[in-house]
Structure 1
Amino acid sequence: MNPIRILLVDDQTLLRDALEVILNLEDDFEVVGVASHAQEAYDLVKTLQPDLVLMDIKMPVMNGIEGTKKIKADFPSTLILILSTFAEEEDIVECLAHGATGYLLKDMHGDRLLNAIRDAANGQFILQGPIAAKLASRLFQMNQYASPIPNLHNVQVELTDREKEIASLIVKGYTNREIAKALFISEGTVRNYISTLYSKMGTSDRSKLLLFLKELGIKGE
């Protein structure tokens, strides 16, 4: 199995070098290049063709939002995973709207970062709990002015005990891999349960599912 080829983009040299060492210690990762800003990242994507770009936001020359937009426009198959110190709603919305496959914070545990990169490379959409909450808040505000989110308190949605367990972990920000590990079940089983939740909530969007679960009173405890 070929390793996941990663391009690191961060203007903080110490952090960038540390990430390069950590990622290269994993057998299934290969850091193929590093960049200090998004314009440099764009040029390297053209030549190196990485599978995934791990991108900061606040950088000189070109920031991560503009870089995400430019890279996804010309190299749509390249995955971009945001890794930032900041959790500002505008940044989150802009990055995801321009095609980022997830948004993570730099203070997350190292093992969770490694698993998040793997999940992103496997096609999953990645949001940490705090980021998902901020995105849910922004989507709620946006829907107040567009099509309102249904008030599920007035709708009869029955969840099994296992579905409630999984729903609680979704609200908590767990990835499918982390849910499987926490509940001692396979990732395939987790995906089946989540598909059922999508069906019951009438959506196929994970961020909207998060909103609906919160509307039902599901808490990430």
Structure 2
Amino acid sequence: MDGLIVSKNTSKVGETVIKVLIADDQELIRHSLEIILKNISDIQVIDSVGDGKSVIRSIRKEKPDVILMDIRMPEMDGVQCTKIIKESYPNIKIIILTSFDDDDYILSALRDGASGYLLKGITIEELVDAIHKVHSGSAMINPNIAQKFIELYSEMAKNNQLVQVDKKAIHDVTEYEWNVIKHVAKGLSNKEIASKLKLSEGTVRNYLSNALYKLNLRDRTQLALWAVQTGKSEG
């Protein structure tokens, strides 16, 4: 994030504002992110904290839409925090933003419900894009570790950590829902899926919601994990 410049955006009438919570134990990083995101018209930084327990306290008060979560924090790390938050606040989107390209962390964070895992070397434009995409329901993974995202399935299988789905439920998924699932597994947003399938975003959301309900999965990240590990993302 060093040496990057962001131009200030002009607010649009009726624009949805995304409430963002920053969680990082390094004060310099927190302040830098605050300064950067204040220049984005549809993003509002509602709080900035330095440890896991403060994250939990803050979300009870501030109700953020998206959390930028560091992995290694005192009191409670980002993975533990993610697990607790997603159990109680499933609609809050979490982007793990870290310097550490660590297999165990990637595996745990995604399994516990993180919507993104990004390294701090990304550009400002990539970070802002990730915030917008996870807020709209997409999953975001840094290109530098995307291959590891696939490789982790073999490790998950060894540790019996695969996402489980009732086989009977699979037969209830319609052809239209399968088409959406395949694109979700490739990391596409609802808008991108709608464009490819020539559907409205509302229709894509409905197909996605139906698929999640039928398969008894928590969110699109779990759905993507399941689709890739079972080969359902092919085609």
Q: 99-108 vs 137-146, which deviates more? A: 137-146
Q: Note the residue ranges of structure 1 that are not aligned, 5 or more in a row.
A: 149-166, 181-185, 196-203, 217-221
Q: Retained in 2: the 8 A contact 1:56–1:83?
A: yes
C-alpha displacement of 1:209: 6.2
Q: 70-79 vs 30-39, which deviates more? A: 70-79
Q: Which of 128, 134, 139 is the equivalent residue of 2:148?
A: 134
Deviations along 1:5-49, one digit per CA (max 9) or x if unpaired, are 000000111111010111111011000001101110110000001
Tell me, in whole angstroms, the C-alpha distance in 2 between the residues paired with 1:20 and 1:110.
12
- TM (norm. structure 1) is 0.69
Correspondence for 1:70: 84
Q: Structure 1 runs of 4+ off > 3 angstroms?
A: 141-146, 174-177, 190-193, 204-213
Q: Retained in 2: the 8 A contact 1:132–1:207?
A: no
Correspondence for 1:152: none
Correspondence for 1:188: 194
Q: Note the residue ranges of structure 2 that are not aligned, 5 or more in a row.
A: 1-14, 163-182, 205-219
Tell me, in whole angstroms, the C-alpha distance in 1 between the residues paired with 2:77 and 2:32.
21
Correspondence for 2:123: 109
Change (3 A) 1:191 1:124: farther
Please give the secondary structure, in 1, of the residue aligned with 2:97.
strand
Amino acid at match of 1:138: L
Q: Retained in 2: the 8 A contact 1:7–1:50?
A: yes
C-alpha displacement of 1:64: 0.4
Q: Retained in 2: the 8 A contact 1:10–1:36?
A: yes
- TM (norm. structure 2) is 0.65
Tell me, in whole angstroms, the C-alpha distance in 2 between the residues paired with 1:129 and 1:143.
23
Q: Retained in 1: the 8 A contact 2:22–2:48?
A: yes
Change (3 A) 1:23 1:62: same
Q: Retained in 1: the 8 A contact 2:136–2:189?
A: no
Amino acid at match of 1:133: Q
Tell me, in whole angstroms, the C-alpha distance in 1 between the residues paired with 2:61 and 2:159.
43
Please give the secondary structure, in 2, of the residue aligned with 1:42.
helix
Identity of aligned residues (%): 28
Tell me, in whole angstroms, the C-alpha distance in 1 between the residues paired with 2:128 and 2:153.
28
* 1:123-162 pair list within 5 angstroms: 123-143=137-157
Q: Which of 112, 115, 129 is the equivalent residue of 1:98?
A: 112
Change (3 A) 1:141 1:191: farther
Tell me, in whole angstroms, the C-alpha distance in 1 between the residues paired with 2:121 and 2:71.
15
Equivalent residue pairs, number: 179
Amino acid at match of 2:195: T
Tell me, in whole angstroms, the C-alpha distance in 2 between the residues paired with 1:7 and 1:93.
23
Tell me, in whole angstroms, the C-alpha distance in 1 between the residues paired with 2:146 and 2:153.
10
The answer as to 2:41 corresponding to 1:35 is no
Amino acid at match of 2:94: I
Q: 52-61 vs 66-75, which deviates more? A: 66-75
